[in-house]
Structure 1
């Protein structure tokens, strides 16, 4: 139930790894690693989980995650991504401390909360990375990082209150809860039952959860439910009332209020502007 610690393999002839991830579906696999991770979605859609943040992803989404930041991508359809994983010293110890790379150093520091770039002009360059020879990959990756650092479009993903990997004990408890909620958020969520998963009293758990994640349990559950509603709104023609129920809301007024809080628009407007087809 804990996040899986990954140790990405590095191919011979290089100091970092770059690959295309192509699967019939992206399964929920909550994990973290010591490498930075640059991920470009090239096909498919689903849900991205980073720390406490829950958002849908589409082709063209570009994200840079810092080390030890728990994350996963989940979908029930064929998806593809260009993924590059590298350590801070992949070009040598102290390389990014050189004055000419101060902007890249700042970019990497800010990625501790995850950075979302949306659809970026560098997409073609990043998508081609896995197909290049190691020397060309290295030059291209450095160029990509420098150009990302020079831009202004990066948006932090996790809230300011979230600290990646605060401690093993804290992270393990949080990740037990997050994995459970990913599967159970459309059903009634009872504080006592969730607290019991990590052997804590409800009051102590509430304080722990907010201190560890920077949001309340209710806030996090609402993020999961609204993201489920977004997926149903964009991929089906189900009535709004049915979508509310399937997302875990049995009161339509509450659903509309929570949805508007997170998406700054009512569900009907969201469907009209984001609908991708009927399932």
Structure 2
């Protein structure tokens, strides 16, 4: 399956959308669209998948995701509420040349950087309140000014924003290469906790194993093994933070058959040992 392409629909009185997404849980729904998307996590925690990135999210995380970058969010606790404030807009929502104006040079640079996805983790309260209040604005002109204010503020703290995807990643959802990668990523999201063989994954992309290895690294900016380890480590983080399973069992359930390999990979990616991660994240 390739990521679902979301179709654009707008209210009658404006050229962008803002809404609160509130559900009992966010399920895996790999998708992309032509719009920029601001996502502020307001309740619940889980895993975000943005391009090549597979990392945890928490309330307060703010992401700016560029056009055509596949993404989804999966709740860590399926029995609790998941909520996010979302704004979607196209590059020309204020006219084709609006962001070419010199006074919006910083915003234009911010939007260009969002092609790799951007994460803001220290967003001021006033900016978060501005975003969560957008869906309640009944004056479309005032809501447009508010969105521009948000973009302007983010542009001036863009140096603090971390890119979400590797430099080698380039979104191209309409190409055969993108379709193959999306098929593989969707499959690995389900299958990474069991042994993953290169021959099996290459067959999903209808390629020879050696050719697929080169293709995946060139397209995703990382090796298949690196990507699988990222998925497994995030699964291990969820188990460590939400269960009291022994570390050996966490390793096995995450897809690692060798405990020393699990410990080594976990330390590489999380910069702490599994026991240290559990101590820092288990509820007290």
Give the TM-score, by structure 2 length.
Answer: 0.95
- How far did 1:201 drift? 1.0
Which range is displaced more, 266-275 or 83-92?
A: 266-275
Alignment of 1:109-188 (within 5 A): 109-121=112-124, 122-133=127-138, 134-151=140-157, 152-165=159-172, 167-188=174-195
* Residue equivalent to 2:88: 85
Runs of at least 5 residues in structure 2 that lack an aligned partner in the other structure: none
- How far did 1:197 drift? 1.1
RMSD: 1.2
Q: Given that residues 8 and 17 in structure 1 are in contact (C-alpha distance below 8 angstroms), is that contact kept between their aligned partners in structure 2?
A: no
- How far did 1:166 drift? 6.7
* Residue equivalent to 2:98: 95
- How far did 1:265 drift? 1.1
Which whole-Å CA distance do the structure 1 matches of 2:3 and 2:122 have between them?
A: 29
Q: Given that residues 54 and 223 in structure 1 are in contact (C-alpha distance below 8 angstroms), is that contact kept between their aligned partners in structure 2?
A: yes
Q: Given that residues 28 and 72 in structure 1 are in contact (C-alpha distance below 8 angstroms), is that contact kept between their aligned partners in structure 2?
A: yes
Q: Given that residues 23 and 83 in structure 2 are in contact (C-alpha distance below 8 angstroms), is that contact kept between their aligned partners in structure 1?
A: yes
* Residue equivalent to 1:69: 69
Q: Given that residues 107 and 152 in structure 2 are in contact (C-alpha distance below 8 angstroms), is that contact kept between their aligned partners in structure 1?
A: yes
Cα deviation digits, residues 12-65 of structure 1 (max 9, x gap) = 100011111111111111111110000001111111001111001111111000
Runs of at least 5 residues in structure 1 that lack an aligned partner in the other structure: none
Task: Return structure 1 stretches of 4+ with deviation > 3 angstroms.
Answer: none
Give the TM-score, by structure 1 length.
Answer: 0.96
* Residue equivalent to 2:243: 236
Cα deviation digits, residues 120-140 of structure 1 (max 9, x gap) = 102121111111122222111
* Residue equivalent to 2:39: 39
Q: Given that residues 3 and 31 in structure 1 are in contact (C-alpha distance below 8 angstroms), is that contact kept between their aligned partners in structure 2?
A: yes
Q: Given the alignment, which residue of 248, 267, 270 partners 1:263?
A: 270
The alignment covers a number of residue pairs equal to 277
Q: Given that residues 66 and 115 in structure 2 are in contact (C-alpha distance below 8 angstroms), is that contact kept between their aligned partners in structure 1?
A: yes
Which range is displaced more, 203-212 or 265-274?
A: 265-274
